[in-house]
Amino acid sequence: MLNLDQILKTHWGHKKFRLQQKEIIESLLAGRDTVAILPTGSGKSLCYQLPALISKGVCLVVSPLIALMKDQVEQLHNKNIPAAALYSGLSHEESKEVYRNALDEDIKLLYVSPERLQSERFLRFLTNATISFIAVDEAHCIAQWGHDFRPAYLNIKDIKYELPNKPILALTATATPKVEEEIVERLELKSPKIFRGSFMRKELSLKVNQVENKETSLVAILKKRNRSAIVYCRSRRACKELSLLLNQENIKSTYYHAGLSKDERDTAQKSWLQNELTVIVSTNAFGMGIDKADVGLVLHYDLPESLEAYYQEVGRAGRDGKLSEGIVLYNSRSIARQNEMASLKFPSEHELRKLYTNVCNYLKIPTGGGAEEYFDFDLLSFVKATNYNTLTALHGMQLLSKQKVWSLSDSVYVPMRVQIVASREELNHIAHNYHRQDKLLKQLLRMYNGIWQYSVPINEYDIASKIKTSIEVINEDLRFLASRSYIKLVAKKDKPQLYFTDNRYPAEQIVLNYKEIERHKIHEQNRLAAMQKFVLNKSQCRMQLLAEYFGQQEHNPCGVCDIDNPAMVQINFASVKKLVDEALTHKESESFENIIGHLQGEERIQTMQLIRKMISEGLYQISSFGEVSKA
Ligand SMILES: [Zn+2]
């Protein structure tokens, strides 16, 4: 028997396994399907990386995000563990090398996106490769009623048929008992061993602050802390505006959302990771795979949309074990606003059918056409052209994609496709007049069965190497043949894509399972209700409440949340004086409410009392309008 502790020490430099890691690894090494539900920051990836290292063959890791994969591969290289990732941005040569290395077992782990599992090339690879086991990261993405459903995760069970008897390890940080059930069912796990880590995080102090003015409170909170922080807010515009506001207040910050270019996102992320600035204001697009130890505060400027999302996001604080905070801000309008936004998520059946027609018209798809085709689809241009509300359109598109009317993806690479439509006479004509193009056509016929009947994806690199010419020449010749209607050519793409599973039908004929949509809606409402209960809760330890939601019993309160310990933040003369002085740095006077606006509960009361005392002692004065100034 291998000595696991020794391997842990050699490659990871740790002396001891953390809770349950060893049991999970042993279950997997014994060939058992295993589910590990462990909170963020408890060393999940080690549970498959270590067994991968000591097993024969290559471990397949299914992972939802390219950034996450790249990150992991880099970290493994730093530990001298050979690994690689297959994702859509790789060049043909690069992915060829990855496949070769995997076949030769020169790597121990191969990260793949769930979409990739369906590709023919990948399936061909599987039949020739030696696979040790399959690890499914962020396994909750498979749950249709979960908060992060990724339809491509449903493909995972298909590769199981190619790999009988290989155990699966499903990992996630958040799974309610219902999601756990779905994971087991949809991955078709055989009597799996299930591990659940404790949800309690004693170094994370959870707080919910009801405030008058969220902006003022945000500034005050951040000024007081001066620790690395993430501020989550809902809209892209708010990210930018809040970051601007913070910078005006001398709090160094940047912002991040999915609408920025890759370079902009990389720069923002890097400057925050390297502590060149303190705060990153971001949508929920930010954070997955981020492992920054010294995050002292995660602040939700808008109410999180579910407790799953909240727990995942707030879990990014305090990884270094130092006491950290998660603060949710809300005001009297927050809950009503959240309900309003949620109602937009479920357009009526009529509206969905109308959206379908509008999208087809916008993409100029004729009735009876469009099946199995990819279309460039930029939501914002669509919204502009059709006067849709962005959110209504987005949610409607997503619902139709869950109903398999189409599939909507972020930028994916779609290869060039060709169909030969020339007649025999035309082929003869080409053979006599265009020698170079003729050679290309004959090569296409040799390489791709069915190219007469339908358009097939082609690989211009393979063709070029077969007929010993350059890609440029191939492309030029393909364009030439297409311009004369000898072939049909669909250019390759790397824009967001809308893929039509079927031809366009009259809108009233598309099959919609509205009962299922109704069920989604109910799940969504339940999630929202749980989130709001958490926010309005004034009596139960917040960690206990979270654990309960995730189906766990925690007998002892955490002791550090705002319910267990309202005076978590030290209130004393010096801290309160500092608070008032800071509010008066750039201003002659400031309203009492603005000074203490971000505080609540016991902390608020004590602070108010202390300021009153300072006023009565003549340290500050207060006007009849409630404006505090220096005496
Ligand atoms: Zn607590």
Q: What is the pLDDT of residues 2-36, one digit of tens each?
A: 689 999 998 888 888 888 999 999 999 999 999 99
Instruction: Compute, in angstroms, the gap from residue 269 CA to the centroid of ligand 1.
Output: 31
In a domain, 403, yes or no: no
Instruction: Compute, in angstroms, the gap from residue 200 CA to the centroid of ligand 1.
Output: 9
Which amino acid is residue 72, in one-letter code?
A: Q
Instruction: Compute, in angstroms, the gap from residue 371 CA to the centroid of ligand 1.
Output: 54
Instruction: Compute, in angstroms, the gap from residue 198 CA to the centroid of ligand 1.
Output: 14
DSSP sequence for 346-382: S--HHHHHHHHHHHHHHTTPPTT--TT-EEE--HHHH
237 φ/ψ angles, rounded to the nearest 5 degrees: -65, -40
From CA 43, how far away is CA 48, in angstroms rounded?
Answer: 10
Phi-psi region of 523 (alpha: psi -120 to 50; beta: other; left: phi over 0): alpha
| Residues 348 and 323 occupy one common structural domain | no
| Residues 368 and 508 occupy one common structural domain | yes
The answer to whether 628 and 588 are in contact (CB under 8 A) is no
Instruction: Compute, in angstroms, the gap from residue 175 CA to the centroid of ligand 1.
Output: 21
Instruction: Compute, in angstroms, the gap from residue 298 CA to the centroid of ligand 1.
Output: 17
Identify the CA nearest to 179 among candidates 35, 312, 34, 62. Answer: 35
Instruction: Compute, in angstroms, the gap from residue 414 CA to the centroid of ligand 1.
Output: 49
**Low-confidence residues in the chain, pLDDT < 70:** 1-2, 41, 89, 409-414, 493-495, 566-572, 601-602
| Residues 461 and 552 occupy one common structural domain | no
Instruction: Compute, in angstroms, the gap from residue 331 CA to the centroid of ligand 1.
Output: 22
Instruction: Compute, in angstroms, the gap from residue 150 CA to the centroid of ligand 1.
Output: 33
E strands, 475-572, are 487-490, 497-500
Instruction: Compute, in angstroms, the gap from residue 603 CA to the centroid of ligand 1.
Output: 16
From CA 595, how far away is CA 628, in angstroms rounded?
Answer: 9
In a domain, 529, yes or no: no
Instruction: Compute, in angstroms, the gap from residue 287 CA to the centroid of ligand 1.
Output: 24
In a domain, 408, yes or no: no
Q: What is the pLDDT of residues 448-503, one digit of tens each?
A: 888 888 878 888 888 988 898 888 899 899 999 999 999 998 877 666 778 887 89
Q: The tokens of 361 are what? A: 């018209």
Give the CA dihedral 210, 212, 213, 216, nearest 10 degrees: -80
Instruction: Compute, in angstroms, the gap from residue 557 CA to the centroid of ligand 1.
Output: 5
From CA 21, how far away is CA 18, in angstroms rounded?
Answer: 6
Instruction: Compute, in angstroms, the gap from residue 553 CA to the centroid of ligand 1.
Output: 13
Q: What percent of the chain has pLDDT over 70?
A: 96
Instruction: Compute, in angstroms, the gap from residue 524 CA to the centroid of ligand 1.
Output: 26
Length of the chain: 631
| Residues 224 and 77 occupy one common structural domain | no
Instruction: Compute, in angstroms, the gap from residue 539 CA to the centroid of ligand 1.
Output: 10
Instruction: Compute, in angstroms, the gap from residue 176 CA to the centroid of ligand 1.
Output: 20
| Residues 100 and 134 occupy one common structural domain | yes
Instruction: Compute, in angstroms, the gap from residue 204 CA to the centroid of ligand 1.
Output: 9
| Residues 72 and 140 occupy one common structural domain | yes
Instruction: Compute, in angstroms, the gap from residue 328 CA to the centroid of ligand 1.
Output: 15
| Residues 114 and 79 occupy one common structural domain | yes
From CA 258, how far away is CA 260, in angstroms rounded?
Answer: 6
| Residues 28 and 168 occupy one common structural domain | yes
From CA 345, how far away is CA 147, in angstroms rounded?
Answer: 13
| Residues 447 and 551 occupy one common structural domain | no
Per the structure, how many domains does the chain have? 5
In a domain, 81, yes or no: yes
Instruction: Compute, in angstroms, the gap from residue 564 CA to the centroid of ligand 1.
Output: 5
User: What is the pLDDT at residue 273?
Assistant: 94
Instruction: Compute, in angstroms, the gap from residue 568 CA to the centroid of ligand 1.
Output: 11
User: What is the pLDDT at residue 572?
Assistant: 63
Note down the domain range covering 253.
199-332+538-563
Instruction: Compute, in angstroms, the gap from residue 541 CA to the centroid of ligand 1.
Output: 4
pTM over 0.95: no
